[in-house]
Amino acid sequence: MKLKKNGALFAFGGTAYAMLEIICRRKTHWSMFMAGGTCFLTLFKIFKKFDKMHLPIKCVVGSAVITGVEFVAGCIVNLKLKLNVWDYHDMKLNVKGQICPFYSLLWALLTVPISAICKKIK
């Protein structure tokens, strides 16, 4: 039962993130489904374990988790496999073109609806 729920949460997060990318960028990549699923499942587990966590802290945690997953995924997908899914080299303070403060801030904001969704899931 736990595996089924985790799979459903992963699929929800992956699908939601891929759809968000299609809306914002008009395209996505299978790796973004994987990253989105990993992020949502991880944040769901953290937010359920620490259910009294205040929203600003959740936003910091969410930003850290999503940025971390994005960095690992970028190092594999973009740098190692050379698939060029995204490139933040033109963004200020980027790290290897894979992460940057601007998107980390967006991930903090994205954590607000993620937190609300996680609250509704039993």
Mean pLDDT per 10-residue section of the chain, whose length is 122 residues? 94 98 96 98 98 98 98 98 97 98 98 98 88
Q: Which residues, including other chains, have CB under 8 Å from residue 3's CB and lie 6 or more apart?
A: none
- Residue 95 three-state SS: strand
The pLDDT score that the predictor gives to residue 1 is: 78
Please give the mean pLDDT across all residues of the chain: 97
**Sign of the CA dihedral 116, 85, 35, 79?**
negative
Two structure tokens written together for 59: 């936003």
Q: Burial, 114: exposed, middle or buried (Cβ in 10 Å; 0-12, 13-18, 19+)?
A: buried
Domain range for 75: 2-120
Q: With both helix axes pointing from N to C terminus, report the angle between 30-49 and 2-25 in degrees, rounded to the nearest 10.
A: 130
Q: How far apart are CA 14 and CA 67, in angstroms?
A: 15
Q: What is the pTM of this model?
A: 0.95
Number of independent structural domains in the chain: 1
Place of tokens 């620490």: 50
The pLDDT score that the predictor gives to residue 122 is: 81
Q: How far apart are CA 70 and CA 50, in angstroms?
A: 23
**Which residues are registered as beta bridge partners of 95?**
99
